[in-house]
Every structure is written in structure tokens, then in C-alpha cells.
Amino acid sequence: MRDIGRTVSFSPWPYLEALANPWIAGGVVLLAVWFLSQLSLLSWVDLSYFLPVTSVSYVLTAMLGKFFLDERVSFLRWTGIGLITLGVVVVGRTTPRTTSSHGPPGARK
């Protein structure tokens, strides 16, 4: 978005133009993969379980930044990584699903 510049518009055209940027387009493709994976996981577990547990992606992003982009991870960020990890562990010890599935007959439980 830094390449595109200031983009605050209620018209769809600036956003469509942003999609012509290869970085943005690549991100959109990965988002599509992510979205299908998210929907599949939401069919198995509670939303309140899904949200914290999948937040491990923040930790992964920080680690990738450190090891592949040689980014400096400050003490505050290490603390943040620790808090997120602890949150994932705490929620991970709960039952993933506390509601019943309302899928169509024959859907796997």
C-alpha cells in the first residue's frame, strides 16, 4: 500500500487499481487459500477457540521477519510473542467445540 499511496476513497476504482500491483495480487491469492482453510476449520471448532489458536500466525510472522528479513525483535515484541503463545496454550487446553453441529443429514460429525 505504500507503493500505491494514500487511498481513502468510497469509489471502488482505486482499490481495483491496487489489485494490479503484483504484491497485492499475490496477497489476495494467499488470502483465498487462507479463507477456505478458515471456513473448513470453523466447521469443526468454536469461533472463540478458533480466534486465539490461529493467532499463532502473529508469532510466525515475527519469526519469519527475524530469520528471513533480519528484522530486530525488541524485548517488547518478544514479550508480545510470549503472551500470544501463552494465550494459544491456555485456549488450546479447552474443548474445541462446545456447540452441536447443525449440518445437513449425513454430514460428518
Q: Output Rg (C-alpha) for the chain, integer angstroms.
A: 19
Closer by beta carbon to other proteins, 70 or else 107: 107
Q: Rule CB under 8 A: say whether 57 interacts with other proteins.
A: no
Q: How many residues bind other proteins (CB under 8 A)?
A: 56
Answer for the pair 88, 56: CB distance below 8 angstroms, yes or no: yes
Q: Rule CB under 8 A: say whether 51 interacts with other proteins.
A: yes
Closer by beta carbon to other proteins, 70 or else 102: 102
Q: Rule CB under 8 A: say whether 60 interacts with other proteins.
A: no
The Cα-based distances of 25 to 22, 31, 63 in angstroms read 5, 10, 24
